Structure 1
Amino acid sequence: MAQNNSASKDVANKNGSKKKPVVAIVIAVVVVVVAVIAGVIAWRSLGGESVESLKASCAEVSEQRRMQQNVYNTLVNGDAAAASAYTEDQVNDPDTLAKLADELDVKTPELGACNVETADEFKTQISKIESNTTWYKDHTASLQKAVDAVNASVKK
């Protein structure tokens, strides 16, 4: 009987020792999976911009571009149109009319839009829209300068 107890303990030890590494491996895999999930959640909340925040940023820069574009268009259709109506006989310096004509002939940029879906697409469009806003600011200033030069050259 003593041998029987000893044999059953050996079987239990063999079975128990086989279960311990399997349990340890399962626990390790679970820990790794939890760590990866936690890392992804942390990256999304701390490091990566969400599509919703990029969408809001895109709408904001689009509004800034729209306002600057309106300023430019108001100048083109208002004071610049009036100044470009002068003839060479009506100004002291005809070059001012040529410079104004050059400013009015400039091709406006292709506009960016926020009707995209992914974060990378939003980032691309935001950059394009910001570039457009800068273009409109710069060309509003240079167009205003050309308009002012024509108006200053008008014969009295």
Structure 2
Amino acid sequence: MSTLNQLSLKIAQSQNGVQEIPKNSNAGPAVESYLKSVGLGKGYAWCMAFVYWSVKKAAEELKTTNPLIKTAGVLRQWNEINPRLKFAGPKPGDIFIMDFGKGQGHTGFVVEVYSNGTVKTIEGNTNDDGSREGYEVAYRIRKNSSFKGFIRIPN
């Protein structure tokens, strides 16, 4: 039986390769579905909406509640989430939070944690150079030191 964080990660991974249509538009059927899950239309940055959508789908399938705040704001999610769900060290299934200052953040899921201080992630609104304003769902390798913290979804 899947736990909420395992199923959320599995759902996120099922979206690997999904792209904006057209590229760099923050639009397209899948992207608009992610944005709609947090009450927004097309045209917005969608990394947090992608995470929220993934957890929402998993929660619906498991007939449980989504512990995330309904927002497309990465730093709002971090600042308003239950503090008991915040962690410093990553585990697979965690939601990573990055803070670039001036209210700009990025997020996605931890897939794997490596002993060399890097983490494999799956994230939305990224691209091949790891941008926080990209055009696709993709896997990335990021340094553990680049994260502000992690949200651990309760099982």
TM-score, normalized by length of structure 2? Answer: 0.23
User: Which structure's relative contact order is higher, taking Cα pairs within 8 Å and 6+ residues apart?
Assistant: 1
Whose Rg is larger?
1
Q: Which has the higher strand share?
A: 2
Greater helix proportion? 1
The two structures have a TM-score, normalised by structure 1, of 0.23
